[in-house]
């Protein structure tokens, strides 16, 4: 009598995502294919999500705008158009991997089971039906998925918004319960600061989802929605270099579990910076419920994101409110706000040429001294603070754009981020 | 009491197909959109099938071959890749038509309900599910369909073979019972002869499906499968110019009905020519059942189409067989045939530098004098005939390539095709 054993499944399931700059040319695409094949040869089950090659998406968008005359191109047609960029890179990647002797299959977002709502241009993923992806993995194939796209219930192709191939990768990783979702970029990982401002900046070895979320919305090049999704579904991530195979990268995950019994040695993870910030201040507005909404709603409707908002204490029923926007929106914000008949104010003042500098780290919550250290370090460096805002894991100062490098360097040094 | 009348549906339903050369540039695409819009303004319900822009398909194929190394690119992946060319032109056409103020929607082959078998690279249409196309027409939209592609039962994208956007157009026209399927090309219609050989060549105003089929396989630039499908489903077609709006074009349809009670005035429709033909002759082969199949099977398996086949009367149980192939296949045919151990022969002879010239017309069937007139006209023009083959509506002679223009002109004149 023969007894057959089923070997326990120990193979690692890895989702890898390569962005447009990693696939900008035929030669780069070939390099990525080799890298995928090498990983395969180490034994992992692989799903590879790809963006469109280089500037394909922008070129298609420009063409659409030129052809649509006085109208804006229909969002549905625009999505049908630009989603082809990822189809091209996915099938080419499938062909290149097969050319290296490995079985591979490319799938569109639809074929990979990515179901979205009908918000063309920035659709939300409603559900993932991973049956086909799992079937192809089981067949021993490397599955290459066109990122950035999905399908509506009405059978139309959507795109998920700029930079959302990351989101495809994380969503697929969550749906197939992958061991890790690796995001390959043109940097070695998430840095402690912008290296153009702070020469000492170094790669952060690991970071929690929440800290990463603060940094993603503060200018680090990661799609915040993908971090959110990874956090909700507890998908471990690795951000690393597509060009440098020796980069260790940055692990993103739930650090609480690992660190719960350990002293958190370093509470500040990084210094985030953002240039080209402008401020709008409304003086003498009525301090009544709903006034903030009345100011913000018309801006939201115009698609303008407000960032830092500061409202001073009221005196005599009147108050001042300041908020920041990307510098490019300043004129439009001033126009919209001055035409806003719902809001009375005595004066409107604008200022551009500002920048944002933040210290980010989970350890801050329980250690009140960080804000004081930050303000002191900026003062010692002769950097004047224009506005301040804080969250549980972040302290942000608005400063003059000319001082942003000085500020970042001072803070990087103050919190000893250059040390390994 | 109010009585509501439903107006009888008198709107014409038109399917238009524009090929890659009509869409080669942004400017040409814009022109086609204007032409579609103008037709719409005349009141027709429109479905527009488009090919990929210019040389897109070839460029993608070249890229695939370069990336696949020593392997051939997988047909499935190749189809996933090259089908994007039509998705791009369809969505751009949708955007351009909307830019002219008309409602339009682009559909992929899949969304248009085109279901195929799994023969990647040259799939056959199995079925068309036109529900969505009909729904969008009913909504008052111009429906733009990506030609050349469909979907397998296993949910994979296929392509229908080179030049098969015509086939998409005819199949859609059949499925929605369109009044006419218009094929826009870079010529004014189907000509009585190749104008490079016969300066007097003119556009044929109308022609039957069968004659057109003979001409399509004899070098006129129409996909023969699309003519076959139009013939089976009785789809009236118009072949006309995408550049010259004044071209009347060639109508293709069932002429029998119209002509059944009329004398057929002109029995010869056109002179078809094909250059670059080569001949292979096997001398002294056994005249036994199955010998032709034994010769042809290995060639079919190598994907080589045999054209004219002539077998002489047997003497002493041995016979000679000649057949023609495209000149580019000659060497390969000679190799395959000389390695064919199933076929014994005393000698193999090859000759290239030949051409094919045919007279085509339905009237011939009942009028035996045409072959004689053809041979006489060629003799008078000092053109030697190498081989002869006939069908019900065609007589073909193989002649020396140097004489093809002389032969075509002589026959064009003999059968009075230059007269209107």
* Chain A interface residues (partner B, CB cutoff 8 A): 26, 29-30, 33, 60, 63-64, 66-71, 73-74, 76-78, 80-81, 84, 87-88, 90-92, 94-96, 98-101, 104-106, 108, 111, 132, 155-157
- C-beta separation of A105 from A94 below 8 A: yes
Residues A362-386: tens digit of each pLDDT: 777 666 678 888 999 999 999 999 8
How does the average pLDDT of chain A come out, rounded? 89
Residue of A106, A153, A105, A163 whose CA lies nearest to A129: A153
DSSP structure class, residue B122: S
Residues A51-69: tens digit of each pLDDT: 999 999 999 999 999 999 8
pLDDT at B265: 47
**What is the rounded CA–CA span in Å between residue B71 and residue B78?**
13
Residue of A9, A19, A13 whose CA lies nearest to A39: A13
* Chain B interface residues (partner A, CB cutoff 8 A): 26, 29-30, 33, 60, 63-64, 66-71, 73-74, 76-78, 80-81, 84, 87-88, 90-92, 94-96, 98-101, 104-106, 108, 111, 132, 155-157
The predicted model scores a pTM of: 0.83
pLDDT at B55: 94
**What is the rounded CA–CA span in Å between residue A201 and residue B277?**
70
What Cα–Cα distance (Å) separates residue B375 from each residue in A243, B200, B382? 71, 21, 11
**What is the rounded CA–CA span in Å between residue A148 and residue A168?**
6
Report the residue from B67, B104, B105 with minimal CB separation from A99.
B67
Q: What angle do CA B126, A83, B18 make, to 5 degrees?
A: 55
Asked if B77 lies within 8 A of A70 by C-beta distance, the reply is no
Per-residue pLDDT, averaged over B84-89, amounts to 98
Chain A neighbors of B99, CB-CB under 8 A? 67-71, 73
Helix (H) or strand (E) holding A391: strand A385-391
pLDDT of A273 higher than 50 = yes
**What is the rounded CA–CA span in Å between residue B395 and residue B387?**
11
SS3 helix, strand, coil % of chain B, rounded to 5? 35, 25, 35
Asked if A81 lies within 8 A of B92 by C-beta distance, the reply is yes
Please report, rounded to a whole number, the percentage of residues in chain B having pLDDT higher than 90: 59
ipTM of the complex: 0.80
pLDDT at A218: 58
List the single residue in A with minimal CA-CA distance to B82.
Answer: A88
Q: Residue B301 has which token pair? A: 């398996």
Chain B neighbors of A78, CB-CB under 8 A? 91, 95
pLDDT at B137: 97
List the single residue in B with minimal CA-CA distance to A77.
Answer: B91
Residues A109-141: tens digit of each pLDDT: 999 999 999 999 999 999 999 999 999 999 999
Looking at B113-235, list the stretches that DSSP marks H as alpha helix, in order from N- to C-terminal side.
131-138, 165-175, 209-216, 224-233
């Amino acid at each position: 009598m023969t007894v057959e054993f089923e070997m326990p499944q120990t193979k690692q399931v890895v989702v890898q995502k390569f962005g447009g700059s990693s696939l900008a040319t035929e030669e780069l695409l070939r390099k990525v294919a080799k890298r995928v094949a090498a990983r395969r040869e180490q034994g992992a089950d692989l799903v590879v999500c790809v963006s469109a090659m280089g500037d394909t998406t922008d070129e298609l968008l420009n063409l659409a705008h030129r052809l649509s005359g006085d109208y804006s191109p229909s969002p549905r047609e625009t999505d049908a158009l630009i989603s082809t960029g990822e189809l091209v890179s996915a099938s080419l990647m499938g062909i290149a991997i097969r050319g290296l002797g490995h079985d591979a299959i490319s799938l569109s977002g639809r074929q990979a089971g990515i179901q979205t709502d009908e918000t063309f241009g920035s659709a939300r993923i409603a559900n993932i039906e991973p049956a086909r992806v799992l079937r192809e993995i089981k067949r021993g194939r490397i599955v290459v998925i066109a990122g950035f796209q999905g399908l509506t219930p009405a059978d139309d192709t959507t795109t998920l918004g700029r930079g959302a191939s990351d989101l495809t990768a994380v969503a697929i990783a969550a749906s197939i319960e992958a061991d890790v979702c690796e995001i390959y970029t043109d940097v070695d990982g998430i840095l402690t600061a912008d290296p153009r401002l702070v020469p000492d900046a170094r790669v952060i070895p690991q970071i929690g989802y929440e800290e990463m979320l603060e940094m993603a919305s503060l200018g680090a090049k990661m799609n915040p929605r993908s971090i959110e999704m990874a956090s909700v579904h507890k998908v471990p991530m690795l951000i690393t270099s597509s060009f440098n195979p020796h980069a260790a990268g940055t692990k993103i995950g739930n650090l609480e579990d690992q660190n719960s019994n350990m002293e958190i040695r370093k509470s500040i993870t990084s210094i985030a910076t953002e240039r080209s910030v402008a401020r709008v201040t409304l003086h003498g507005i009525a301090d009544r419920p709903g006034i903030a909404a009345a100011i913000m709603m018309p801006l939201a409707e115009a698609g303008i994101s407000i960032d830092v908002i500061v409202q001073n204490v009221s005196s005599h029923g009147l108050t001042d409110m300041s908020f920041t926007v990307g510098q490019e929106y300043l004129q439009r914000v001033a126009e919209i706000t001055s035409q806003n008949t719902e809001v009375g104010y005595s004066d409107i003042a604008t200022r551009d040429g500002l920048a944002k500098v933040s210290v980010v780290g989970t350890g801050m919550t329980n250690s009140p001294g960080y804000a004081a250290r930050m303000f002191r370090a900026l003062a010692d460096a002769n950097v004047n603070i224009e506005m301040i805002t804080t969250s549980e894991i972040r302290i942000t100062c608005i400063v003059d754009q000319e001082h942003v490098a000085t500020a970042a360097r001072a803070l990087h040094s103050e919190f000893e981020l250059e040390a390994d």
